[in-house]
Chains A and B, each alone.
Chain A
Amino acid sequence: MADEAPFQFLHNEVIQYLFKSAENRETENGRNVTKLENMGFRVGQGLIERMTKDTVRFKDELDIMKFICKDFWTCVFKKQIDNLRTNHQGIYVLQDNKFRLLSQLSAGKQYLEHAPKYLAFTCGLVRGALSNLGVKSIVTSEVSIMPACKFQVMIQKM
């Protein structure tokens, strides 16, 4: 078991690296978020593979989402998702009231414009995890007051 600090520092450094390289080329901003998201995707794939190797088969989509909210989130962020909502048509909203990667930044609206950078990796993490469980999805994030945030998972029907 490693300590949590190295991951947080590394995560910050990754963000710094990706966005500093594009400071003078504003149009590249979108591409950097994509890069960050793709890195998360790979990590999510690897993590879920290791986590689920001894678990029983999931019943359905909802069962998978519950696993993400409980076990996966606990494994990565040491807490569960606080609220899971769904419209039963393939859209899930995962709410974390004290998201770990934001909790050091601010408690309010300060630095709100930087929040998306700190969520892109996690969006990818969730998408990668789901993808390895056979669920294709689009994951987006939303913050109105830090450190609370919402992740919206849109399941793509195959």
Chain B
Amino acid sequence: MSRQSNRTTDSKKMNSELFTLTYGALVTQLCKDYENDEEVNKQLDKMGYNIGVRLIEDFLARSSIGRCQDFRETADVIAKSAFKTYLGITPSVTNWSPAGDEFSLILENNPLVDFVELPDTHSTLIYSNLLCGVLRGALEMVQMAVDVRFVQDTLRGDNVTEIRMKFIKRIEENLPAGDE
């Protein structure tokens, strides 16, 4: 980085390392607080959910994307638009189930894990589990109940990072959305 300050007017962009490092600090803190990977995973998912519930508003307001016609379109919007906007990556969408209600997101380089190495003592920790919560929370706000989980993670020795998403049901409009 040069010493000259680059006073860009594009204030929406921010050094992504700040986000990565902050997330790392959070996971570290959670590991100290809980001492049990399962609990940490759960907490990360919960925090992600809270973020997703709010993030969807920001996303819809900025992207002028309307209601999705089917789950395939949803997958496209998530991969090409949402991930691009917020994390600067475009995961590929693969492994569709025959019924078209399940697919995988393959993350090439997950920005959350930029400087991360998992110690052996945390073999069951799903480091980026926040993302699952975010996706679940955001989709719930557009009337979609979806199951989201990591099935592969490069941090744990897999070749790729894969998030599996399974459509469960459409949430009826007149019912109040489930609260955490």
Task: Say whether A and B bind each other.
Answer: yes
Are B8 and A71 in contact (CB-based, < 8 A)? Answer: no
Interface of A is mostly: helix
A76 at the interface (CB under 8 A from B): yes
Contact with B along A58-96 (1 / 0, CB 8 A): 000000000100110011101110000000000000000
A136 at the interface (CB under 8 A from B): no
Candidates A2, A43, A56; contact of B87 at CB < 8 Å: A2
Interface of B is mostly: helix
Are A3 and B5 in contact (CB-based, < 8 A)? Answer: no
Known contacts A4-B12, A5-B55, A76-B18; is A39 also within 8 Å of B25 by CB? yes
Q: When A and B form their complex, what is the total count of cross-chain residue pairs whose Cβ atoms lie within 8 Å?
A: 116
Q: Closest CB of chain A to B146's CB: distance in Å?
A: 19
Chain A contact patch, size range: 35 or more
**Nearest residue, chain B, Cβ from A43:** B21
Contacts of B28 in A (CB 8 A): 39, 42
Contacts of B6 in A (CB 8 A): 74
Candidates B5, B24, B54; contact of A9 at CB < 8 Å: B54
Contacts of B23 in A (CB 8 A): 10
A106 at the interface (CB under 8 A from B): no
**Nearest residue, chain A, Cβ from B59:** A5
Contact with B along A1-20 (1 / 0, CB 8 A): 11111110111011011100
Q: How far is the CA of A138 from the CA of B17 in the complex (A)?
A: 24
**Nearest residue, chain A, Cβ from B62:** A5
Q: How far is the CA of A16 from the CA of B55 in the complex (A)?
A: 16
Contacts of B111 in A (CB 8 A): 2
Residue among A4, A6, A51 facing the most chain B CB atoms (10 A cut-off):
A6
**Nearest residue, chain B, Cβ from A13:** B47
Are A75 and B15 in contact (CB-based, < 8 A)? Answer: yes
Contact with A along B125-168 (1 / 0, CB 8 A): 00000100000000000000000000000000000000000000
Q: Closest CB of chain A to B92's CB: distance in Å?
A: 19
Which residues of B are at the interface with A, using a C-beta cutoff of 8 A? 1-3, 5-8, 11-19, 21-26, 28-29, 33, 43, 47, 50-51, 54-55, 58, 85-88, 111, 115, 130
Could you list 30 A-B pairs, sorted by A, with CB under 8 Å?
A2-B13, A2-B16, A2-B111, A3-B12, A3-B14, A4-B13, A5-B58, A5-B86, A6-B19, A6-B87, A7-B14, A10-B23, A10-B51, A18-B29, A35-B29, A39-B22, A39-B26, A39-B28, A40-B25, A43-B25, A46-B24, A55-B1, A55-B3, A67-B3, A74-B7, A75-B18, A76-B15, A78-B13, A78-B14, A80-B5
